[in-house]
Amino acid sequence: MAYERSNIRRMTGYTWGEQPKDAGTCKLNTNENPYPPAPGVAAALKDIDAADLRTYPQPTADPLRTKIAEHHKLAKENALITHGGDEALRLAITTFVEPGSPLGCANPSYSLYPVLAGIQNAPQLQAENSADWSLPTDFAQQANAAGARLTCLVNPHAPSGRLMTTDDCARLAAELDGVLLLDEAYADFIDPALGYDSAPLIKAHDNLLILRSFSKGYSLAGLRLGYLIGQEALIEPLLTKTRDSYNIDAISHRLGLAALDDQDHAAETRRRVRAERSRLEDELARRGLQCPPSEANFLLAHVPEDAKLTAKALYEALKARGILVRHFDTPRLADALRISIGTPAQNQRLLQALDDLLDHVSAAR
């Protein structure tokens, strides 16, 4: 006999990226930062006294809230610490989406969105991305007509890496009737020369939430630490009503503070990722695998129809060689592989495998 709610019984759960079965696997499938976190994080971890774990942590992680707010030139009341970016999404949907009311998003997008919508028994408005992965021009009108009280958009977009400008973000927030959540899990890898900074938009838009994560930009995916920033009226119900009590443990709190303290280290790892992103994009193109311009720490490589292997077959062949990338077997993405940016050595191992498997390196190489 099934005891779960009917909408839970109907839904499909989230499918996470494969985890390596041995240390020799080249893991380019889950968009982790390939470089270690700041030395101060390791030092803070060593300094933790197990006896301190006897008591509950500070309930709202105020020291970390304060430091994050200062980082974005905001007040503590504008920040909420979460157990990874995924908890931030769950909290937003729980707080702002009535069961049975729609959640707005683009298609394709982060594959957790439909799972969280299913849990909330919320249908999805999935507006199709344009050919260049931009939003349709009438996206806000579609969301408003559907009655979406929350719209979640990844920026830079996943899985393409396309960046929506701050002007476009501001325009969308102004046009939407409901809350706009900008999921900036990959924003730390945007080229600084582009001057992207969405945080100031919060002061002008009372319906804007911005999600950030420590997983990628601070090399702390194993820690599960993220945050939301927005106007106090949006943050307050999340903080005082729908958030789990003591949702941030004392260890995560201390390590998050240590990571924020070393912005130079974080900036250097991001610079190295951007440099490899550019190199890998060029090298993939020379092998016939074209990628849309990406401002994230991954590339979406399209496998041409005349290639020796299909994208799915290429994914399987790479896996057999101990190289994990991501293939989404959906109509819009069936011809593509999403490849996380690794170290130079990891990326070179991938390229060598592609040379062997595709056997048609461009003559221009």
**CA distance between the termini of the chain:** 61
3-state secondary structure of 93: helix
Give yes or no for a contact between 99 and 121, defined as CB atoms under 8 angstroms apart.
Answer: yes
What is the rounded distance in angstroms from the CA atom of residue 93 to the CA atom of residue 181?
10
Structure tokens at 325: 């990338």
Three-state SS letters, 19-64: CCCCCCCEECCCCCCCCCCCHHHHHHHHCCCHHHHHCCCCCCCHHH
Tens-level pLDDT at each residue, the chain (365 residues): 678 999 988 889 988 888 888 889 999 999 999 999 999 999 999 999 999 999 999 999 999 999 999 999 999 999 999 999 999 999 999 999 999 999 999 999 999 999 999 999 999 999 999 999 999 999 999 999 999 999 999 999 999 999 999 999 999 999 999 999 999 999 999 999 999 999 999 999 999 999 999 999 999 999 999 999 999 999 999 999 999 999 999 999 999 999 999 999 999 999 999 999 999 999 999 999 999 999 999 999 999 999 999 999 999 999 999 999 999 999 899 999 999 999 999 999 999 999 999 985 443 33
User: Please, what is the angle between helix 250-261 and helix 62-71, to 10°?
Assistant: 30
CA distance 31 to 248: 23
Q: Which domains does the chain have, with CATH numbers?
A: 18-35+264-358 (3.90.1150.10), 39-261 (3.40.640.10)
Joined tokens for residue 78: 């504008």
How big is the CA angle at 145 (ends 140 and 149), to the nearest 5 degrees? Answer: 70
CA distance linking residue 107 with residue 333, whole number of Å: 11
pTM (2 d.p.): 0.95
Distance CA 171, CA 316 (A): 42
Nearest to 346 by CA among 316, 322, 365: 322
